Amino acid sequence: MSYTIDKESELELSRVGIYKDVIPIDISIQKLFGGEIKGDFWEYQIFNNIPKISPIKFDRKRTYTGSSRGKLKSEVVTLKSSPITYSLHSLKRYRERSYREIDFDSFHHVDEEWLNELSERIPLYFGEENTAVIRQDILFPFGDGGFLGQHGVIDHPTQDRTERYITLYRKGKVSRITEVNGSFLLPNFTTRTYVNRDQFTWFQEQSFTQYHNGDIDGALTTLKENPLNTQYSITSKTLH
């Protein structure tokens, strides 16, 4: 499937202040080796018919020969993924409700320890066995409010979410090496919407306060024991 960016997504991205450096997930490596990626970017994909983006940090180091002409010897590009994927709708709500611009670094560097705890402590499903639904109301504190969404896992080729792509230049020949260690299921969070603190339910406010006071156990227990109603959960599934 081709993840070309449709006109509607382009319009939504422009409305939240993202005008460039958005690359469809299925051609990002192609563009990388083609020299078209030169800095941080957003990786675009459509999942369950919902357009989403994830921030990717970019770093490049080059080495040259010691000759007077200083020919390029090698190039190492490092891509660092974020554990959070943002729906375009949630970014729209963030801009509308927080009145803040989207800062790439803030959206890339999130509390990964909180995500790890969510994955370990809060079940993905809630409800009776035959009518269980995926929780879409999990609070991920962010700024003066929080994103609501679901946690899960994502298959990643490295355990530290870092991929390295090496290009070697030897006697007119170019060779490429991709450093991956295998396949790892890593915690991931997908946002559905964003709410300000003044829009919190009582238990979201309690969990938010516990989180910022360092009471992670209390914050998780509050969320676990108080799921929102099923209108915030999109997938029904019979558990086996």
3-state SS, residue 95: helix
Question: Which residue has tokens 């490092």?
Answer: 78
Q: Is residue 240 part of a domain?
A: no
The CA distance from 83 to 87, in Å, is: 14
Q: Is residue 62 part of a domain?
A: yes
Q: Is residue 33 part of a domain?
A: yes
Looking at this protein, which amino acid is placed at residue 230? T
Question: Which residue has tokens 């290009």?
Answer: 167
Q: Is residue 123 part of a domain?
A: yes
Measured in Å, how far apart are the chain's first and last C-alpha atoms?
30
Q: Is residue 17 part of a domain?
A: yes
Q: Which two tokens stand for residue 230?
A: 């099923």
Q: Is residue 225 part of a domain?
A: no
Q: Is residue 126 part of a domain?
A: yes
Q: Which two tokens stand for residue 24?
A: 């469809």
| Residue 216 · residue 115 · CB < 8 Å | no
Q: Is residue 72 part of a domain?
A: yes
Beta bridge partners of 150: 190
CA angle 155, 158, 161 (to 5 degrees): 85
Tens-digit pLDDT string for the chain (240 aa) = 456 899 999 999 999 999 999 999 989 888 988 889 999 999 999 888 899 999 999 999 999 887 667 788 899 999 999 999 999 999 999 999 999 999 999 999 999 999 999 999 998 877 666 766 788 899 999 999 999 999 999 999 888 999 999 989 887 788 888 877 788 999 999 999 999 999 999 999 999 999 999 999 999 999 999 887 544 444 433 333
At 33, give phi and psi (nearest 5°): -70, -20
163: containing domain:
7-195
pTM of the model: 0.87
* Number of domains the chain is built from: 1
